[in-house]
Amino acid sequence: MVYSNRDNNAFYAQSGGVTPVINASAAGVIMAARQKGIKVYAGADGIIGALHEQLIDTTKMSEQEVAALRYTPAGAFGSCRFKLTDMQKQAKEYRRLIEVFKAHKIRYFLYNGGGDSQDTAHKVSQIAQEMAYPLVCVGIPKTIDNDLYATDFSPGFPSVAKYVAISSMEATLDLASMCSSSTKVFILEVMGRHTGWIAAAAGLTPVGFGAQIILFPEVAFNQEHFLARVKECVKNYGYCSIVVSEGVRDTSGQFLSASGNKDAFGHQQLGGVAPYIARLIQEKLKLKHHWAVSDYLQRSARHIASKVDVEQAYALGKFALKVALKGINGKMVTLERSKKNNKIIWETGLAELAQVANQEKHLPADYIAANGFEITEKAKKYLLPLIQGEAYPPYHQGLPAYFRLNAKFLKKKCTDFV
Amino acid sequence: MVYSNRDNNAFYAQSGGVTPVINASAAGVIMAARQKGIKVYAGADGIIGALHEQLIDTTKMSEQEVAALRYTPAGAFGSCRFKLTDMQKQAKEYRRLIEVFKAHKIRYFLYNGGGDSQDTAHKVSQIAQEMAYPLVCVGIPKTIDNDLYATDFSPGFPSVAKYVAISSMEATLDLASMCSSSTKVFILEVMGRHTGWIAAAAGLTPVGFGAQIILFPEVAFNQEHFLARVKECVKNYGYCSIVVSEGVRDTSGQFLSASGNKDAFGHQQLGGVAPYIARLIQEKLKLKHHWAVSDYLQRSARHIASKVDVEQAYALGKFALKVALKGINGKMVTLERSKKNNKIIWETGLAELAQVANQEKHLPADYIAANGFEITEKAKKYLLPLIQGEAYPPYHQGLPAYFRLNAKFLKKKCTDFV
């Protein structure tokens, strides 16, 4: 590799909860940068790495390592839950970023995250202007929750959707085969604190193969309706398979997972809307049940990632680098759905960072069936193309050949940040 | 298909908790039977189908449907939790079985299940002898718990082991990439009420890629040691990834999942050793944590089944039919590990039903490391060959093309069983 462009380096960081394909975006950025002779420095543990000048020199990564990013889940460079929002209160942090970027000749700021992170990218771009430092800021979308505006989908979501649909399908087959003499109800808890996109994916299974009840955060939980529906399913099919979003709330707006879940010492029980629903079914219907909480499994399941997801995450990374090199500042790269030869494809596009920052895209009302427990044909039409194709990772000795980076750091040039 | 052998039919039933590959054994039985012109009648919902003369005529299944059994998880004919044990107390049931078998010219009894089911098969063979009815009884092993004696492994276990190892690996990568500013501890609960085979599978991941702590049912839970180990991991690696078996007990022999897990109303909390461990970590170490309960997901995850498992489950089904046709009565078919050209292979063998019935094979003491939290090299040597190969199902529109049987029943010939 020849890095001809020595005075214009790029900074890349991963932000917020990780996904099965965020590393594919990283691979896209690095691959595109190498083609242009641009060095990419990655923030160790996200933006924290920039503040503390912990910069990973990706030029030291072999081609194989960069290729391995494409099939390795989670954040290879480390991610963080650290918010940079208020430009006044956090002026010190914003200024420090520019100090570090200046020291390492970083001219491109590529930030891979959700709504909060797009807000940060926007503000970094503003502070650079204020400080008259030439910096091009580009956001790359990522969130399993699929709650980002302006892009057809957020990379990460399709793979989680695929995992949830398959898991619900498999567990429902299990339930169906045991229900005559054993378990009658199965409950799978999935993520989505504020939006029901992930839960909705359970509606993609063919009739008779998946959950009969989906509980969305967008629909206030009505215990009576719910229990009636469970009884009806058990009566008609012999079993009832349920997918519940962690974000479901009761009619007073309180999370179900928080209501009444106190232990013997009066402490709030730790999370878990699935055990809450299970207890309800036990107490009110006396039906044998099982429950699962997929938690991190769902968002790290690279072994069953959607091919569409991996390819588009990679494409967005490549496109973000190109956009940055063109000097297009203050944008988030997006995906636009279109059709080619009667096949759905995605093209890359751009949105204003200011526009996508700090917004949440909820499941549209017409994606949820009138009974509140299913998705509509319109929802299926949107969701189904996203889970197409299986992008299997390579295997070594029966396990995925995932990789962990042995990070090589840049020599520090600034004083410590305190 | 020509079923030339009209006076010698075979009965096949699935028993107990289902697995990702029990249908592969069914496919083996049916394929082998078709080659010999033998009809296979499957019990709907296991042995209950025989008692109530609910016999599924597998001769009505197309070749494609039989082939689809190989890649469809759960029990295609239905399974049950119904124990036939005491020959005196349940004499009526045992005699009824013979009545139904006689009516349908069933000469071969193939029972696919765990330890209890092998016991049932043994007793059916005894009652047939007592009643002078010529019946050949053959057991086919199946249990995700891997607790059956006399066979190198129980079909079903390798796929669950693969799922658990991969899931732990993926969630650990997720945890590792977030730990600097967020979650420090992740807990994955897996099955294995009495034995730690499934939990042990988490020890197959390469160093730095999986759980640092495994909690086995075979090791009494020592809170102090455990918490010290969690602290040590977080100190040394920044995070701690834990896999816990649902069957872990405290020093007094009580299941952890039952101890202290009472809700605000004083009711026993429903299951969940993972939330118990999570609460402990919260209260004693104040570390941010996440937990998952894989429950049915782990035992139905055909999408990531072990190739070894699928192939051997199928081979056992075929072999069981052949053994039955030879008139070898009162045996369970088994797998014997051997080597060929330096590669581990499995050969089929036989064990006495009387010998394998109602026994539980625990994780050997020398499979668990001295610290009680890891597996030994000896354990890895046994386990690793089992998870080799990925037997992916075919996909249709982004989801596995699993199949559900539209069962064709035989005409009843007996009076109703009451």
Q: Which residues in chain A are contacts of B398 at CB distance < 8 A?
A: 162, 165, 204, 306, 384, 387-389
Q: Which residue has the higher pLDDT, A363 or B4?
A: A363
Residue A189 token pair: 């808890």
In chain A, which residue's Cα lies nearest the Cα of B403? A209
Maximum alpha-carbon separation in chain B: 72
| Residue B268 pLDDT greater than 70, yes or no | no
Q: Which of A205, A299, A390 sits opposite B174 (nearest CB)?
A: A299
In chain B, which residue's Cα lies nearest the Cα of A279? B270
- Secondary structure letter of residue A250 according to DSSP: B
- Optimal mutation site among B23, B116, B180, interface A, most CBs of chain A within 10 A: B180
Q: Which of A82, A296, A402 sits opposite B175 (nearest CB)?
A: A296
Question: What pLDDT was estimated at residue B259?
Answer: 58
Alpha carbons B171 and A297: distance in angstroms, whole number: 6
User: Please, are residues A368 and A203 in contact by the beta-carbon 8 Å criterion?
Assistant: no
Q: Please report, rounded to a whole number, the percentage of residues in chain A having pLDDT higher than 90.
A: 88
User: Please, are residues A194 and A360 in contact by the beta-carbon 8 Å criterion?
Assistant: yes
Q: How far is CA A346 from CA A343, A353, A386, B12, B398, in A?
A: 10, 20, 10, 50, 17
Residue B222 token pair: 């020592």
Active-site residue A145, yes or no? yes
Q: Can you tell me the mean pLDDT for B17-21?
A: 97
Residue B378 token pair: 């000896």
**ipTM summary value:** 0.96
Q: Which of A81, A209, A282 sits opposite B182 (nearest CB)?
A: A81
Question: What pLDDT was estimated at residue B348?
Answer: 98
Question: What pLDDT was estimated at residue A84?
Answer: 82
**Which residue stretches of chain A have pLDDT < 50?**
261, 263-267, 269-270
State the DSSP H helix or E strand holding residue B137, giving kind and residue range, or none if neither: strand B136-141
Catalytic residue among A45, A119, A145, A152: A145
| Residue B263 pLDDT greater than 60, yes or no | no
Alpha carbons B207 and B191: distance in angstroms, whole number: 23
Catalytic residue among B45, B119, B145, B147: B145
What is the bridge-based pairing of β-strands B40-43 and B55-57?
Answer: antiparallel
Sign (positive or negative) of CA dihedral A377, A383, A387, A388: positive
Which of B100, B39, B386, B374 is CA-nearest to residue B216? B374
Q: Which residues in chain B are contacts of A388 at CB distance < 8 A?
A: 397-398
Q: Please report, rounded to a whole number, the percentage of residues in chain B having pLDDT higher than 70.
A: 97
- Optimal mutation site among A47, A170, A204, interface B, most CBs of chain B within 10 A: A170
Sign (positive or negative) of CA dihedral B46, B51, B53, B57: positive
Q: Which residues in chain B are contacts of A274 at CB distance < 8 A?
A: 293
Q: Which of B79, B167, B302 sits opposite A177 (nearest CB)?
A: B79
CB atoms closer than 10 angstroms to residue A113: 28
Mean pLDDT computed over every residue of chain B: 94
SS3 of chain B: helix, strand, coil, percent, to 5: 40, 20, 40
Q: Which residues in chain A are contacts of B46 at CB distance < 8 A?
A: 181
pLDDT bin (cut points 50, 70, 90) of residue B270 is very low
Question: What pLDDT was estimated at residue A87?
Answer: 83
Task: Chain B: give the shortest CA distance to residue A397, in Å.
Answer: 6
State the DSSP H helix or E strand holding residue A31, giving kind and residue range, or none if neither: helix A22-35
For chain B, the C-alpha Rg in angstroms (whole number) is 23
Q: Which of B78, B293, B306 sits opposite A180 (nearest CB)?
A: B78
> Which residues are CB-neighbours of A302 under 8 A, at least 6 positions away?
A20, A21, A71, A72, A73, A159, A393, A400, A402, B170
Task: Chain A: give the shortest CA distance to residue B61, in Å.
Answer: 18
Alpha carbons A97 and B205: distance in angstroms, whole number: 38
Task: Chain A: give the shortest CA distance to residue B184, in Å.
Answer: 12
pLDDT bin (cut points 50, 70, 90) of residue B271 is low
Question: What pLDDT was estimated at residue A164?
Answer: 98
User: Please, are residues B83 and B118 in contact by the beta-carbon 8 Å criterion?
Assistant: no
Ordered DSSP codes for A150-183:
TSS--TBHHHHHHHHHHHHHHHHHHHHHHTTTS-
Report the range of poorest mean pLDDT among A223-237, B236-250, B348-362: B348-362
State the DSSP H helix or E strand holding residue A343, giving kind and residue range, or none if neither: strand A343-352
Kindly determine whether residue B180 and residue A45, on different chains, have CB atoms separated by under 8 Å.
yes
Coil, strand, or helix at residue B271? coil
Question: What pLDDT was estimated at residue A3?
Answer: 85
Kindly determine whether residue A404 and residue B266, on different chains, have CB atoms separated by under 8 Å.
no
Backbone angles phi, psi at B189, to 5 degrees: -90, 130
Maximum alpha-carbon separation in chain A: 72
How many A×B Cβ pairs under 8 Å?
Answer: 260
Coil, strand, or helix at residue B400? strand
